[in-house]
Structure 1
Amino acid sequence: MFTRKQRPAGEPEPYWKQRSWQLSAGFLAVVLVLGGIVALTSGQDTGADRVGAAPPGPLSGGAAARNGRPQGCSTDDSTGDALPKSPPKDVSWHTFGVTRVPVSASAGPTRTTGDVRWCFARTPLGAVLAAHVIPSQMSGSGWRAVAQQQIVAGHGRDLFVFQRSTVQGIDGGEGSGGTSAASYAGFSVTSYKSTAATVKLLLRTGQGYAATTIVLRWSGGDWKVLPNSDGSLHSPVTAVQGDTNGYTLWGI
């Protein structure tokens, strides 16, 4: 009789069966970002894949208006640097591509130009909303415009664009009814100042909770995602053990 082949002691499981890979795949189904999936070098970049191919927009240039914001952008920044203890009272949920994302009339995004949803409050809560909204816009066909205007320029952005250009988009827009492998459950602001913020996102998956971190910078009058050197827009996704203490829950 045939016997099942046993894996030698110490040999790792196939990557698709590993818990960390499954969690990352779940998050990628939400935002379709590619960091850590493809190992590329700057020498593989091509002119056709660069973000400059996208049309200009309100956040494309380096100069902001006199008040520090692009023309037409106005937010309530009266809460200052106070870290949020609860979600904004005016939060609503919109479907971008395949995931539902929180938006707020007070914290942002308050403006939409083409495929770009922008103008976030210069507050910790504004950074939280940007950390949710900006990556979630990367699933559709308008991702180049989003990358050009809402990812900090540099090698990391160029690498993200190269990687993203190899994957087909998932268009759907608001109200598309798309489904995803994970959903946004909460957040934690782990560091904040008026020019930089680090936001940890709590995700709800079929296996429980997981978390990932997104770093943002204030640039050109709005929050933008600062990519990692490998082109990823977020840290590796990890399981959350135990309860969700330390996170502010969205309550949905």
Structure 2
Amino acid sequence: MTEPTVNEDQNPLTKPKFIISAVVVAIIVALGIILALLPKGGGNPATEPSNSGSTSASTQPSAAAAASVCGLPSGDQAKPATTPTDTKWELVGKIAAPTSPTQFGPGKTEANGLRSCFAHSPTGALYAGANIVILASSGHNDLVLRYLTVDSPERDKMLGSSSPSGSSGGPSFQLAGFKLTDYTGDRAVIEYGFKVSNGTFGSLPVVLQWSGGDWKAVPPASGQPEGKQLADLSGFIPWEGV
């Protein structure tokens, strides 16, 4: 697709101080503290498991720890290296959310909009993070904080100031791809890529932890989520519903 021509002197997206695109700002505001920074501390991320069918014992969840709140099987523990082929899509507000109710999740969808119960696997984490981002960006921030966020002082602090999320009047966005950068059995780090209606692209990392039989977002102790504007989605595995 041909990119629109813009005047760089007039376009704020080209100015150095404008670090992230308008849609990523909207996502960050919507998610608040539930989206985490990539791990800090100076160390390198744990070695990523192979994308082959085999999985090391260190990343294979035990039967007790893997138990899903709605009985979804853990399934394949290999990181997805291609677009999940059996994904179906449902609109949450105006954003298409991935769904695979009997395999990866959400295994439970409530009348109030809550989408929960994801498989204890890399692909289950992929579905969980996408649904969390989309829920919180579609007017369900309070539900995400209460039920899909790891218990912590940061979460409790956000609950006291939570308000309905979602933006109006600005550019809309859709999930378009992912990079599963780290997976260690009970923890996943996933970067999601987004297409924006104004022709730009953005990405946002999400850290997830297996807790209480489901994947939940990890609140950062401090700092801001590292959302950023991208020239394109090169390097992302395509994954989109619209």
TM value normalised by structure 2: 0.68
CA contact (8 A) 1:159 1:230 kept: no
User: Percent same amino acid at aligned positions?
Assistant: 26
Q: Is 1:99–2:101 an aligned residue pair? A: no
Which one of the candidate residues 114, 117, 134 is aligned to 2:115?
117
Q: Is 1:202–2:193 an aligned residue pair? A: yes
Structure 1 residues 181 and 163: alpha-carbon distance in aligned structure 2, compared to 1, 3 A threshold: farther
Structure 1 residues 124 and 145: alpha-carbon distance in aligned structure 2, compared to 1, 3 A threshold: same
CA distance in 2, matches of 1:223, 1:203: 21
CA contact (8 A) 1:115 1:142 kept: yes
Which one of the candidate residues 81, 86, 93 is aligned to 1:85?
81
Residue in structure 2 matched with residue 60 of structure 1 by the alignment: none
- Partner of 1:187, secondary structure, is strand
Please tell me the root mean square deviation across aligned C-alpha atoms, in Å.
3.3
Matches for 1:155-234 after TM superposition, within 5 Å: 155-165=153-163, 168-169=164-165, 180-205=171-196, 206-230=198-222
Structure 2 residues without counterparts, runs of 5 or longer: 1-10, 35-63
Instruction: Compute the displacement of 1:85 (Å).
Output: 1.6
Letter paired with 2:18: R
Letter paired with 1:244: S
Instruction: Compute the displacement of 1:160 (Å).
Output: 2.9
Structure 1 residues 139 and 242: alpha-carbon distance in aligned structure 2, compared to 1, 3 A threshold: closer
Instruction: Compute the displacement of 1:170 (Å).
Output: 5.1
Letter paired with 1:209: F
Residue in structure 2 matched with residue 108 of structure 1 by the alignment: 105
Indicate the larger mover: 235-244 or 205-214: 235-244
TM value normalised by structure 1: 0.66
Which one of the candidate residues 131, 134, 158 is aligned to 2:132?
134
CA contact (8 A) 2:24 2:203 kept: no
CA distance in 2, matches of 1:139, 1:241: 23
Structure 1 residues 169 and 250: alpha-carbon distance in aligned structure 2, compared to 1, 3 A threshold: closer
Structure 1 residues without counterparts, runs of 5 or longer: 1-12, 37-64, 172-177
CA distance in 2, matches of 1:219, 1:153: 9
Structure 1 residues 189 and 141: alpha-carbon distance in aligned structure 2, compared to 1, 3 A threshold: closer
Runs of 4+ aligned structure 1 residues displaced above 4 Å come to 13-18, 139-142, 168-171
- Partner of 2:125, secondary structure, is helix
Which digits, 9 at most, give the CA deviation of each residue in 1:151-179, with x for residues without a partner? Answer: 001122123334433xx4459xxxxxx98
